[in-house]
Amino acid sequence: MVLPRAVIFGEALIDLVQGTPGQWKGYPGGAPWNVARALSRLGVSSAFAGSVSLDSLGDEIVLQSEAAGLDMRFIQRVDRDPLVAIVPSSRPPRYFFAGEADLFFDPDLMPEGWLKQAELCHFSCISLARQPLADTLVNIAQQAKAAGKRVSYDPNWRNLMGSHYREQTFPTMTSLADMIKLSDEDLRHIYPGLSEQQAMHELRALNPQAQILLTRGEHGMTLHTPDSQLDQPAIAVNVQDTVGAGDACMAGWLAAELLGISGLRERLRFSAACASVSCRHAGAHAPSLADVEGLLTT
């Protein structure tokens, strides 16, 4: 039985986004699901491992998962209220959450032998701050690491992440990860009062060997390896929406390695192009490989 190379764990939800005052639109999203869809559309066999509701909102997530080519054996359906993110402002992003379908993910229902075949396991966002799901996912991350799999982590800070997350979950996941992506905003929330240099020093102390990708939106990104630092400017496009751009960037960074793109600078540029393609569209758009390659050749 062929199983996916990348398994992405966490939440899928509906973003209810307010554009102009009083005008709301719904978009399927959730950082882990965004990464999973983008990885698949970039040409990496991928699965989203999470649970969604049985109603029409869950149906939409399932339909778009199928359209993106995800391995549908990993998505679970539960008779619970759908997880919804209410986004009154996307510039800067503000989020409030309701619902519980994500909390009922059961790892025992995953396809047999998935861990043996997986090369990468990715974790991020509020799934690591909502119990009992958070403890379940940390345990899976520990199992994946023990099995010799590559682990990636994007904290993707949200307002429901409190002191327990900052003091326990974040250090645990950081120490497990081979690849860490976080934004400058994430860094300020996790290490309040510290300069960027001081915060990066604290982060590196938790994991001396990880690749750490620090993103700054329109100001580009910096890759910190144990022995080097590489800068990548943002690739300019006409911006429709920045929701999901960080997830597209994360997917691009992971995909670049799995697709065999050689060289850290080339991988950085590929990741930046993924973020820029996403920004051309409203909602959390999953860039295709063709669109990314098209942007890189213009």
pLDDT of residue 33: 97
Domains contained in the chain, CATH given: 6-285 (3.40.1190.20)
pLDDT of residue 93: 65
Confidence bin at 91 (pLDDT 50/70/90): low
Q: Cα–Cα distance between 166 and 190 in angstroms, integer?
A: 6
User: Residue range 136-149: average pLDDT?
Assistant: 98
Confidence bin at 24 (pLDDT 50/70/90): confident
Angle ∠(90,151,6) on CA atoms, nearest 5: 80
pLDDT at 265 exceeding the cut of 80: yes
> Between β-strands 150-154 and 13-18, what pairing exists: parallel, antiparallel or unpaired?
unpaired
Percent of the chain scoring above 70 in pLDDT:
97
Hey, what's the torsion of the CAs at 59, 64, 66, 72, to 10 degrees?
-60
Q: Cα–Cα distance between 214 and 114 in angstroms, integer?
A: 30
pLDDT at 92 exceeding the cut of 70: no
Give Cα separations from 227 to 143, 158, 200, 211, 224 (angstroms).
28, 31, 14, 10, 8
pLDDT of residue 134: 96
| pLDDT tens by residue, 26-65 | 889 999 999 999 999 999 999 999 999 999 999 999 999 9
List all residues 6 or more positions away from 111 whose beta carbon is below 8 Å from its beta carbon. Answer: 1, 3, 73, 74
Q: Which amino acid is at 10?
A: G
Q: Cα–Cα distance between 90 and 259 in angstroms, integer?
A: 32
| pLDDT tens by residue, 197-233 | 999 999 999 999 999 999 988 888 999 999 989 999 9
